[in-house]
A = this chain, B = another copy of it.
């Protein structure tokens, strides 16, 4: 492969001039520009990106840390990030951690190695204390709200959204309300959920709280569990529309009509919910992803709240 020096020599100009042509600088005479472009074409030359990155000190690449790469929520976030990145001529690399701490640190090191300009963390395994130091090497944007000034945030007000969802159920007269979550661990999100629950309904009944739900089958299993309880809940707030769909389908199979016998609220406005008419809390994760990407590109560590919305259909 030819390099910029070869081009310069053959075109009878300096490498500086070739570089200027390459980068569309002004102050290059038309004849030299033409000559250079001709030679570039003849030799089928293309500049070496690593060399460019090395001199520029940036790569226009953004990392996206996700725990799993086959999860609807993270797909929506990725979708948003990609939208904005493509538009702004950035490139996205996907970094799945499986919540492995070492892996996560290894990925964060890519900032220090100058392989990435910025990093978006959708869900993390490490404590912030372990993550913060890496913000010296590139902007880190989080999907969890954090007050640390160095970290940008593109977040949703989960607590309010949960409060709204529960209130909606309470307004419809429900007092026996169950809910599901995905992760076993005590994440912030789960904390908010439980706090909001207590805020609206007073006491928290352990049997009404199921965890480890993420797909339609988990929803079916959850419904199988909840709907045969002696004190059957009359409403369920699921952590996703797939789960909600499973609950809906199982309920129907044992002749419980929605919303007459069982109210269901899902989350994230996923395809399945449309067909089944499931009311959902849409946290607009695509927008969250777009916003996160935008913060990185503009090197802004602002805290941006993305509004959620409740899409009312027929399951409440």
Interfacial residues, chain A to chain B (CB-CB below 8 A):
46-51, 53-54, 59, 61, 69-70, 75-76, 78-79, 82, 86, 91-96, 103, 109-110, 112-115, 215-217, 219-220, 242, 245-246, 249, 271-272, 274-276
Contacts and interface: CB of A to CB of B under 8 A. Distances in A.
13 contacts: A49-B110, A50-B50, A50-B51, A50-B115, A51-B54, A54-B54, A69-B78, A94-B94, A216-B274, A217-B271, A219-B275, A245-B272, A246-B275
B69 A79 contact: yes
B275 A216 contact: yes
A53 B59 CA distance: 12
Nearest to A136: B44
Which of A50, A75, A86, A216 is packed against the most chain B CB atoms within 10 Å? A50
B70 A75 contact: yes
Nearest to A112: B46
Contacts of A103: 86
A215 to B, nearest CB: 4
A70 B79 CA distance: 6
Given A50-B51, A50-B54, A217-B271, 14 more contacts: A46-B113, A48-B113, A48-B114, A49-B110, A50-B59, A78-B94, A86-B103, A92-B93, A93-B93, A215-B271, A216-B275, A242-B271, A246-B275, A249-B276
A50 B112 CA distance: 12
Question: Can you list the 5 inter-chain pairs with the closest CB atoms, starting with the nearest?
Answer: A49-B115, A50-B53, A50-B54, A46-B112, A49-B113
A94 B219 CA distance: 31
A180 B40 CA distance: 48
A114 B217 contact: no
Contacts of A95: 91
Contacts of A49: 110, 113-115
Nearest to A98: B86
A216 B271 contact: yes
A91 B159 CA distance: 35
A106 to B, nearest CB: 10
Given A69-B78, A246-B275, A275-B246, A46 B93 contact: no
A45 B272 CA distance: 49
Nearest to A61: B93
A220 to B, nearest CB: 5
Contact of A82 (B54, B96, B110, B112): B96
B113 A47 contact: yes
Contacts of A275: 216-217, 219-220, 245-246, 249
A103 B51 CA distance: 23
Nearest to A64: B94
A59 B78 CA distance: 23
Contacts of A112: 46
Contacts of A53: 50, 53
A268 B136 CA distance: 44
Contacts of A46: 109, 112-113
